[in-house]
Amino acid sequence: MNIIDIIIKKRDGGILNKEETDFFVSSAVKGKIADYQISAMLMAIFLKGLNHTETALLTDAMAHSGETYDLSKIKGIKVDKHSTGGVGDTTTLILAPLVASLGVPVFKMSGKGLGFSGGTIDKLESIDGFNTTLSKEEAIRLVSKNGIVIMGQNQNLTPADKIFYSLRDVTGTVESIPLIVSSIMSKKLAAGADSIVLDVKCGSGAFMKDYASAKELAMGMVEIGRKMNRKITAVISSMAQPLGNYIGNSLEVIEAIEVLKGNAKGDLLDVSLTLGACMLKNAEKCNSIEEGRKMLAENIKNGKGLEKLRELIIQQNGNPNIIDDYSLLPHAKHSFKVLSTSEGYITEMDTSKIGRASVETGAGRKTKADILDYGAGLIMKVRLGEYIKEGKEIAEIFASSEEKCIAAQNIMLSAIKTSSEKPSKEKLILDIIE
């Protein structure tokens, strides 16, 4: 089989079969084809697309390009969740212990953040001692014992995705829906969960800026999951503003704890309850999303969700005392209040700019090599639709220097627009695809 023939076939709009797809993926992983040939193939896919069968074949080949997890020794329906990324998106730290507190095993493999899309692993590593580097055997043991694990991505998982992703980023092929679907779903399938709930973000702070593209992505992933015999639900939610009010690593840990203590309401709680309810429903613990939401809310009220978080921290060698004493978490040296320069209703938040402001504080990475400041970030003081006066505090910034605070402030001020006209309320949950 010849890679050039396969490239030409896809370039001309042909349909790839299993043998051709497997050859392309395995040859890339084994280093038998050049980067420029892989890039040419990715561009052909970008231009000509893949049908559902082709996307399923590519996803399966990528999922089996490295190590896979067999979770069959863990009793019950194992659940996982994935978010396409956003700002103030702290849902995993809330819903994972909540769902586990209701007897559903949660096996969550997460990554580190790049840019303003914060990574769950970065947030957990802001907790002193918390170990996210676990062997397959240790992770399975912990879930079998305590019903939950949140760990960093195994480096031997889906090596094909790592190769393709690095080339997509520099060849203008990132936006291809089939390539996004195969990238996300290959990792989730290789991780071995029986059910996957997908949180597909849509809006200014998301990769998918409009509902139509978000729905296309969601439906593509659901279709692939079904073909691979997984229970899949996709929730399309708005990222027209930061989901939570705390943006940064230790800051988001604090907000997650406050939600589990029952002290914080709003969008972050709402989305967490919906995603968690979908996980419960797929695990056959409830009959409807509304029933699942009530079950999760009850375990916030009775403290069982918070106790499961404490168990998670202890089992992975973190300091559980941070739950009761936030001073044990990293804190930035400097803080700065951002004041509004206009008056009116907040009609628009450029959430990507707010995310960029957090990166300027040191809370996010501009490159993969950047070292994070776990105590840096910002706290939002306003929400869409709120009426503000000139001089009103709209955010508080935390950073290691005054220069970083000022740089973040300048971006923040450009991110928020006001008007004399009160805007209509933004819908938070845009769609649920089962």
pLDDT at 354: 95
* pLDDT above 60 for 114: no
Residue 155, C-beta contacts closer than 8 angstroms, at least 6 positions apart: none
| 378 backbone φψ class: left, alpha, beta (φ>0; ψ -120 to 50) | beta
Q: Looking at the domain assignment, is residue 157 inside a domain? A: yes
pLDDT at 112: 73
Angle between helices 289-301 and 267-282 (to 10 degrees): 120
Residue 239 and residue 189 share a domain: yes
DSSP class of residue 16 equals P
Are the C-beta atoms of residues 155 and 35 closer than 8 Å to each other?
no
- Backbone angles phi and psi of 302, in degrees to 5: -90, 0
Residue span of the structural domain in which 396 resides: 330-419
Percentage of the chain with pLDDT > 70?
98
In whole angstroms, give the CA distance from residue 234 to residue 220.
Answer: 10
* pLDDT above 90 for 321: yes
**Residue 265: burial class (beta carbons within 10 Å; 0-12, 13-18, 19+):** exposed
**Any catalytic annotation for residue 331?**
no
**Any catalytic annotation for residue 161?**
yes
Residue 227 and residue 96 share a domain: yes
Q: Looking at the domain assignment, is residue 54 inside a domain? A: no
- Of the residues 168, 201, 215, 353, only one is catalytic, namely 168
**Any catalytic annotation for residue 48?**
no
Mean pLDDT value across the chain: 94
Residue 366 and residue 275 share a domain: no
Residue 366 and residue 233 share a domain: no
Q: Looking at the domain assignment, is residue 26 inside a domain? A: yes
* pLDDT above 80 for 115: no
Cα–Cα distance list, 170 to 79, 173, 197, 284, 368 (Å):
34, 8, 30, 43, 15
Residue 182 and residue 97 share a domain: yes
Residue 285 and residue 405 share a domain: no
Considering 302, 323, 344, which residue would you say is the last residue of a domain?
323
Residue 297 and residue 219 share a domain: yes
**Any catalytic annotation for residue 334?**
no
Q: Looking at the domain assignment, is residue 55 inside a domain? A: no
* pLDDT above 90 for 6: yes
In whole angstroms, give the CA distance from residue 100 to residue 65.
Answer: 30
**Any catalytic annotation for residue 183?**
yes
* pLDDT above 70 for 182: yes
Considering 258, 289, 323, which residue would you say is the last residue of a domain?
323
Q: Which residue has the higher pLDDT, 129 or 112?
A: 129
pLDDT at 364: 85
In whole angstroms, give the CA distance from residue 263 to residue 257.
Answer: 9
* pLDDT above 90 for 111: no
* pLDDT above 70 for 353: yes
- Of the residues 83, 110, 183, 250, only one is catalytic, namely 183
Are the C-beta atoms of residues 250 and 329 closer than 8 Å to each other?
yes
Total of domains in the chain: 3
* CATH number reported for the structural domain that contains residue 282 in this entry: 3.40.1030.10
Please write the tens of the pLDDT for every residue from 117-132: 668 999 999 999 999 9
Q: Looking at the domain assignment, is residue 64 inside a domain? A: no
Residue 318 and residue 279 share a domain: yes
Per-residue pLDDT, averaged over 62-88, amounts to: 93
Are the C-beta atoms of residues 74 and 230 closer than 8 Å to each other?
no
* CATH number reported for the structural domain that contains residue 39 in this entry: 1.20.970.10
Q: Looking at the domain assignment, is residue 296 inside a domain? A: yes
In whole angstroms, give the CA distance from residue 315 to residue 234.
Answer: 30
- Of the residues 60, 89, 122, 161, only one is catalytic, namely 161
Residue 196 and residue 144 share a domain: yes
DSSP 299-341: HHHTSHHHHHHHHHHHHTT--GGGGT-GGGS---SEEEEEE-S
Are the C-beta atoms of residues 150 and 124 closer than 8 Å to each other?
yes
Q: Looking at the domain assignment, is residue 7 inside a domain? A: yes
Per-residue pLDDT, averaged over 82-103, amounts to: 94
* CATH number reported for the structural domain that contains residue 386 in this entry: 3.90.1170.30
* pLDDT above 70 for 420: yes
Per-residue pLDDT, averaged over 375-394, amounts to: 96
- Of the residues 78, 108, 187, 231, only one is catalytic, namely 187
Residue 201 and residue 264 share a domain: yes
Structure tokens at 179: 């390539």
Considering 323, 349, 372, which residue would you say is the last residue of a domain?
323
Residue 144 and residue 225 share a domain: yes
Residue 313 and residue 179 share a domain: yes
Structure tokens at 52: 């559902």
Banded pLDDT at 170 (limits 50, 70, 90): confident
* pLDDT above 60 for 35: yes
Q: Looking at the domain assignment, is residue 12 inside a domain? A: yes
Please write the tens of the pLDDT for every residue from 202-214: 998 888 899 999 9
Per-residue pLDDT, averaged over 41-45, amounts to: 97
- Of the residues 78, 82, 281, 285, only one is catalytic, namely 82
